[in-house]
Amino acid sequence: MNERTIAERITFHDAIETMEVDFSHLTMADTVQVDAFYDEVENRLADTGRRWYFLVVYTDCVIQAQAWERFAERGKGANVAHGLGTVRVGATSQTRDAIREHAGRASFRANIYDTREQAIVALGEMRKRRRDAQTAAEETFLRVENVSLRFGGVKAITEISFEIKRGEISAIIGPNGAGKSSMLNVINGVYRPQEGTVTYLGHPRHQMETHEAAAQGIARTFQNIALFKGMSVLDNLMTGRNLKMKCNFLQQALYWGSAQREELAHRKKVEEIIDFLEIEHIRKTPVGRLPYGLQKRVELGRALAAEPILLLLDEPMAGMNVEEKQDMCRFILDVNDQFGTTILLIEHDMGVVMDISDFVVVLDHGQKIAEGTPNEVRTDPVVIRAYLGTTH
């Protein structure tokens, strides 16, 4: 009989960020025993001041019925307080079933393996997934570096750099002809800059194709509304789903049923957006018959139908009255809030920009003259001279 102490059954493997707990050949007869073991485990974990993966060995361990509830509860407690993930080895089929049953109830994964080697391989994969997720969280969302764009002799953009953070609302402002629309066109691949790099979701590229940009979750609205004027609001919004449609024409002909199901799913999504933008009453109206402010809202809807990660809005409030502007502001804030969409917008109305933006980039004559929070930018003398001095 192996009479190791509880302390001897706990091993920390620093190199793989793992604490191994060895329950092998133990019988857990009651809650007192369970508590004694887990108190030791929790104390040792707490002493390290960090989280660990758990490798739990159950070979020939017996947990008696009256101890199960407490055993499961303490295991879960340790995991919540100190764990990064758990793999289990060598449980008897009875213990396995009990673990699986508990896992089902508490909605965590059982992760039981036959051998220690298999469990350690699984641990490696678990650690890699977590590392990848961390890298994704830290990666650059959108960075523009030294971008220059010329049309013949016209310098639309000269060596502009800035960075947009995921989840924020950012604004590009500046006088007419400053290069604002051109900048959006570079970001979504309509214009190809002669120099510079655009890094999106961690991938730097010199040039982006428009279909790539769309496939990677970039949607936009235009300074001059780009909708099908003769088509209804609903149909215009459906065009925003194009990229998401898996069935092509041939498939539609061959697999009519699945195409129909897909169409229904897309309609549902579009109806949600119609609801969200409060345009139910005009869903069947041809867009051309709508007042300008509503057309702008429909265009926002078309962009939202693509379920974008990054939404580019080129003067979404231009030509609107005060009330329409307030509505549009609210929708932009709600999109950001409810869908987590990152937004980069161009706007002339300084008041609006200051109200809703986290970050502002100021362009003038194709160059960046300032960037910062709305307050920093508003009080910058260079900005006041270049931008506020003009008649916008």
Ligand X SMILES: Nc1ncnc2c1ncn2[C@@H]1O[C@H](COP(=O)(O)OP(=O)(O)OP(=O)(O)O)[C@@H](O)[C@H]1O
Smallest gap from residue 364 Cβ to ligand X (A): 9
- Regarding 188 and contact with ligand X (CB under 6 A), the answer is no
Cβ neighbour number for residue 1 with a 10 Å cutoff = 3
> Cα 34–37–39 angle (5° rounding)?
100
Binding mask 202-241 for Mg ion (x = CB under 5 A): ---------------------x------------------
93 by Cβ neighbours in 10 Å (0-12 / 13-18 / 19+) ranks as exposed
DSSP structure string for 317-351: TTT--HHHHHHHHHHHHHHHHHH--EEEEE-S-HH
Q: By the 8 A CB rule, do 186 and 198 touch?
A: yes
Measured CA to CA in angstroms, residue 360 lies from 168, 172, 331, 391 at distances of 11, 6, 19, 20
Measured CA to CA in angstroms, residue 73 lies from 23, 191, 223, 285 at distances of 16, 59, 59, 59
- Regarding 177 and contact with ligand X (CB under 6 A), the answer is yes
Binding mask 106-145 for ligand X (x = CB under 6 A): ----------------------------------------
Specify the residue, 174 or 308, whose C-beta has the smaller distance to ligand X: 174
Binding mask 144-173 for ligand X (x = CB under 6 A): -------x--x-x-----------------
Cβ neighbour number for residue 103 with a 10 Å cutoff = 18
- Regarding 181 and contact with Mg ion (CB under 5 A), the answer is yes
Measured CA to CA in angstroms, residue 23 lies from 71, 220, 240 at distances of 12, 58, 57
Smallest gap from residue 313 Cβ to ligand X (A): 13
- Regarding 182 and contact with Mg ion (CB under 5 A), the answer is no
Specify the residue, 172 or 329, whose C-beta has the smaller distance to Mg ion: 172
Smallest gap from residue 182 Cβ to ligand X (A): 3
Specify the residue, 170 or 182, whose C-beta has the smaller distance to ligand X: 182
Of the ranges 12-20, 77-85, 175-183, 326-334, which one interacts with ligand X (CB under 6 A)?
175-183
Specify the residue, 90 or 175, whose C-beta has the smaller distance to ligand X: 175
- Regarding 249 and contact with ligand X (CB under 6 A), the answer is no
CA-nearest of 261, 281, 276, 290 to 330 is 276
Binding mask 204-223 for ligand X (x = CB under 6 A): -------------------x
Q: Is 63 left (phi over 0), alpha (psi -120 to 50) or beta?
A: beta
Nearest-angstrom CA–CA distance, 111 and 85: 9
- Regarding 86 and contact with Mg ion (CB under 5 A), the answer is no
Binding residues for ligand X, total number by CB under 6 A: 12
Specify the residue, 111 or 182, whose C-beta has the smaller distance to Mg ion: 182
Nearest-angstrom CA–CA distance, 178 and 275: 36
| Residues in contact with ligand X by the rule CB under 6 A | 151, 154, 156, 174, 176-182, 223
| Residues in contact with Mg ion by the rule CB under 5 A | 180-181, 223
